[in-house]
Amino acid sequence: MKSIVKQFLLYRYHRPRRLFSTNIVTDVTTTNNLTKTLANKVALVTGSTSGIGLGIAETLAENGCSICLNGFGENIDEIVTSMEKKYNVPVMYNGANMLNRHEIKDMIENDIKSTFGTSVDILVNNCGMQHVSPIESFDEDIFEKVIQLNLTSNFYTTKYVLNDMREKEYGRIINIASTHGKVASVNKSAYVASKHGVVGLTKTIALETAKDTNITCNAICPGFVLTPLVAAQIDVIADNKNITFEEAGKDLLSEKVPSENFVTVEQLGGLCSFLCSDNAEQLTGQDIAVDGGWTSV
């Protein structure tokens, strides 16, 4: 088994560097030689200006999708430009507030259609937030915000893309849930409730679209994903305990993850690409755990 240090170093300095750095060296030749399995498809990935969402957007672009990024942060223009050059596909950004259904509707029904000349084929609901607190001291406003962002926004995005998917006779709805859509942890009441809700919503959408032509809805339930944010958390653990990065990573993983390995954004992107393929046409309504065995225990 690779050591966590080696895994992280490969992640930070090899391929995944392209997913998070805006100072990206373009390699159009390699990309142009790839088979564009999702050419002419339009993908909306929410919460996609960093981390898991950006990694998924990159993989879909690599497979030929036109991409609408959504989220917040710095250097967004550079991210858009670098993705367009690297993958030779159209990329746009819309900063719709996913807490506001009117902005969500305008993004899907107006901005995306006017930019790409067609509607959304692939919807990846990835935006979300976390807050940790015991129930008795959990801030009520934050609880409602977590539910609204993690769950309710998925309802609205799906509502606004579904009619067009039915007209096209193709659609893929992929909800990024969590291991916490299957199991619970203390002090995460809002997050666990929202992610369980995402799994339930996924199954309902799958049933409602089961007789439609080539429309599916699935949830991906990642465990610990190796992103820069998680790496920073490991660094804090290492500093606080005066241990190495590898030891801190093992501390984080060993309690719940039998494989003692992180999930990578590339693995999640690859799974999303498969779910969008014709081979996954009859795969719908599933909550797919990508967690190194966490939920098998």
Q: Give the pLDDT confidence of 137-160 residue by residue, as tens digits.
A: 999 999 999 999 999 999 999 999
When pLDDT is averaged across residues 272-287 and rounded to a whole number, the result is: 98
- Statement: residue 28 has pLDDT above 50: no
Question: What's the pTM?
Answer: 0.88
Please tell me the distance from the alpha carbon of residue 30 to that of residue 144, in angstroms, as a whole number: 45
Give the percent of the chain with pLDDT over 70: 88
- Statement: residue 30 has pLDDT above 60: no
Give the percent of the chain with pLDDT over 90: 85
* 3-state class (DSSP) for residue 45: strand
What residues have CB less than 8 Å from 134, skipping those under 6 apart? 186, 187
Instruction: Break the chain into its structural domains and give their ranges.
Output: 4-296
- Statement: residue 128 has pLDDT above 50: yes
When pLDDT is averaged across residues 2-9 and rounded to a whole number, the result is: 44
* 3-state class (DSSP) for residue 187: coil
Burial class for 85, CB neighbours closer than 10 Å (0-12, 13-18, 19+): middle
- Give the CATH number of domain 4-296: 3.40.50.720
Angle between helices 51-62 and 76-87 in degrees, nearest 10:
30
Please tell me the distance from the alpha carbon of residue 246 to that of residue 1, in angstroms, as a whole number: 13
State the amino acid at position 81 in one-letter form: T
CB contact burial 9-27 (16+ within 10 A = b; e otherwise)? eebeeeebebbbeeebebe
- Statement: residue 18 has pLDDT above 50: no
Residues recognised as catalytic = 191
The pLDDT tens digits for 206-233 are 999 999 999 999 999 999 998 887 888 8
Are the beta carbons of 85 and 163 closer than 8 angstroms?
no
What residues have CB less than 8 Å from 46, skipping those under 6 apart? 53, 70, 71, 98, 124, 125, 126, 127, 153, 157
Please tell me the distance from the alpha carbon of residue 44 to that of residue 236, in angstroms, as a whole number: 34
Order of strands across the sheet that contains 215-222: 91-93, 66-69, 42-45, 122-125, 171-176, 215-222, 287-290
Please tell me the distance from the alpha carbon of residue 49 to that of residue 19, in angstroms, as a whole number: 10
Residues pairing with 174 in the sheet = 124, 218
Please tell me the distance from the alpha carbon of residue 59 to that of residue 55, in angstroms, as a whole number: 6
Residue 203: per-residue pLDDT: 98
Are the beta carbons of 124 and 174 closer than 8 angstroms?
yes
When pLDDT is averaged across residues 249-274 and rounded to a whole number, the result is: 95
Output the CA torsion sign for 236, 237, 240, 241: negative
